[in-house]
Amino acid sequence: MYRRIHHELGGDPWFVAGAGIGLFLLLLVLLGPALAPHEPYNMSFIPLSPPSAGHWLGVNDGGMDIFSELLYGMRNTVAFGLVAGLVSLAIGVAVGLSAAWFGGVQDQLAMRLADILLAIPAVMILILIAALFRPSPSVLALTLSFMLWPTTAKGVRAQALVVKNGLHIHAARQMGASGAYIIVRHLLPELFPLYLIGFATKARMAMFMEASLAFLGLFDPSRKSLGIMISYALKYYYLDIWWNWLLPPVFLLSLLIMTVTFLAISLEKVFDPRLKEAM
Amino acid sequence: MRRSRIIKPLPAFVLAGLIMVYASYRLPRLLPGDFVSAMYASSPVTLTADQEAQIKAYYTRGEGFSRYFLNLFTLNWGYSYAFLTPISALILEALPWSLLLMGGAHVISMILGFIVGVEAAWRRGGYIERSGVGCMTVLEGIPEIGTGVILLLVFALYLGWFPASGAETAYAMFSPLGRAWDVAQHLALPLATLVLAYFPGNFLLTRGSMVMVLREQFVETARAKGLPPARVRYAHAARNALLPMVTRFGLRIAFMITGALVVETIYAYPGLGTLLFNAISMRDVPLIQGIVLISSLMVLFVNLVLEYVYGWIDPRVGHVP
What is the tens place of the pLDDT at every residue in B221-254? 888 888 888 888 887 788 777 877 777 777 777 7
pLDDT of A16 above 50: yes
pLDDT at A91: 93
pLDDT of A44 above 70: yes
What is the distance between the alpha carbons of residues A241 and B157, in angstroms, rounded to a whole number?
A: 13
Cβ-count burial of A105 within 10 angstroms (0-12 exposed, 13-18 middle, 19+ buried)?
Answer: exposed
Q: Which of B152, B211, B296 sits opposite A278 (nearest CB)?
A: B211
Distance from CA of A181 to the nearest CA of B (A): 32
B145 and A230 in contact by Cβ < 8 A?
A: yes
pLDDT at B59: 61
Contact between A184 and A148 under an 8 Å Cβ cutoff? The reply is no
pLDDT at B301: 86
pLDDT at A115: 83
> What percentage of chain B reaches a pLDDT higher than 70?
89
What is the distance between the alpha carbons of residues B62 and A259, in angstroms, rounded to a whole number?
A: 50
Q: Hey, how many other C-beta atoms are within 10 angstroms of the C-beta on A168?
A: 11
Q: Across residues A200-209, what is the average pLDDT? A: 88
* Residues within 8 A of B (CB atoms), A 135-164 only: 151
CB of A178 within 8 Å of a chain B CB? The answer is: no
A216 and B262 in contact by Cβ < 8 A?
A: yes
B292 and A277 in contact by Cβ < 8 A?
A: no
pLDDT of B80 above 90: no
pLDDT at A72: 87
pLDDT of B34 above 80: no
Q: Hey, how many other C-beta atoms are within 10 angstroms of the C-beta on B216?
A: 13
Q: Across residues A28-33, what is the average pLDDT? A: 83
Q: What average pLDDT is seen over chain B?
A: 80
When pLDDT is cut at 50, 70 and 90, the band that residue A216 belongs to is confident
Which residue of chain A has the CA closest to B22?
A125
> What percentage of chain A reaches a pLDDT higher than 70?
95
Q: What is the pLDDT of residues B207-225, one digit of tens each?
A: 888 888 888 888 888 888 8
pLDDT at A279: 44
**Residue environment code for B252-267, b if the CB has 16+ CB neighbours within 10 A, otherwise e:** bbbbbbbbbbbbbbbb
What is the distance between the alpha carbons of residues B285 and A128, in angstroms, rounded to a whole number?
A: 9
- Ranges A28-42, A238-252, B192-206, most confident: B192-206
A278 and B207 in contact by Cβ < 8 A?
A: yes
* Residues within 8 A of B (CB atoms), A 77-136 only: 112, 115-125, 127-129, 131-133
Which of B92, B82, B97, B86 lies closest to B279, judged by CA?
Answer: B82
Q: Which of A14, A121, A211 sits opposite B143 (nearest CB)?
A: A211
Q: Across residues A186-193, what is the average pLDDT? A: 81
Which of B244, B296, B179, B107 lies closest to A125, judged by CA?
Answer: B296
Q: What is the pLDDT of residues B51-74, one digit of tens each?
A: 777 777 766 555 677 777 877 787
pLDDT at A84: 92
Q: What is the pTM of this model?
A: 0.84
What is the distance between the alpha carbons of residues A276 and A269, in angstroms, rounded to a whole number?
A: 5
Mutate to test the interface with B, among A113, A123, A145 (most CBs of B within 10 A): A123
pLDDT at A274: 54
pLDDT at B129: 82
> Which residues of chain A neighbour B261 with C-beta distances below 8 Å?
123, 212, 216
C-alpha distance from residue A261 to each of A202, B3, B74, B181 (Å): 10, 40, 44, 37
pLDDT at A6: 72
Cβ-count burial of B138 within 10 angstroms (0-12 exposed, 13-18 middle, 19+ buried)?
Answer: middle
pLDDT of A258 above 80: yes
HSE, side-chain direction, 13 A CA sphere, residue A13: 7
B15 and A216 in contact by Cβ < 8 A?
A: no
pLDDT at A278: 47
pLDDT of A36 above 80: no
Q: Which of A121, A129, A279 sits opposite B253 (nearest CB)?
A: A121
B16 and A211 in contact by Cβ < 8 A?
A: no
pLDDT at B49: 79
pLDDT at B195: 92
pLDDT of A100 above 80: yes
B153 and A257 in contact by Cβ < 8 A?
A: no
Q: What average pLDDT is seen over chain A?
A: 83
Which of B290, B282, B12 lies closest to A117, judged by CA?
Answer: B12
When pLDDT is cut at 50, 70 and 90, the band that residue B39 belongs to is low
The residue ranking higher by pLDDT, A242 or B159, is B159
Q: Which of B12, B143, B253 sits opposite A115 (nearest CB)?
A: B12
Q: For chains A and B, what is the number of CB pairs under 8 angstroms?
A: 150
Ranking A132-141, A200-209, B35-44, B77-86 by mean pLDDT, the lowest is B35-44
Which residue of chain B has the CA closest to A117?
B16
- Ranges A183-197, A207-221, A232-246, most confident: A207-221
Q: Across residues A254-264, what is the average pLDDT? A: 88
pLDDT at B61: 55
When pLDDT is cut at 50, 70 and 90, the band that residue A3 belongs to is low
Q: Across residues A247-275, what is the average pLDDT? A: 82
What is the ipTM for the molecules in this complex? 0.81
pLDDT of B321 above 50: no
- Ranges A263-267, B44-48, B106-110, B231-235, most confident: B106-110
Ranking A68-72, B175-179, B192-196, B247-251 by mean pLDDT, the lowest is B247-251
Q: What is the pLDDT of residues A71-99, one digit of tens each?
A: 888 888 899 999 999 999 999 999 998 88
pLDDT at A101: 85
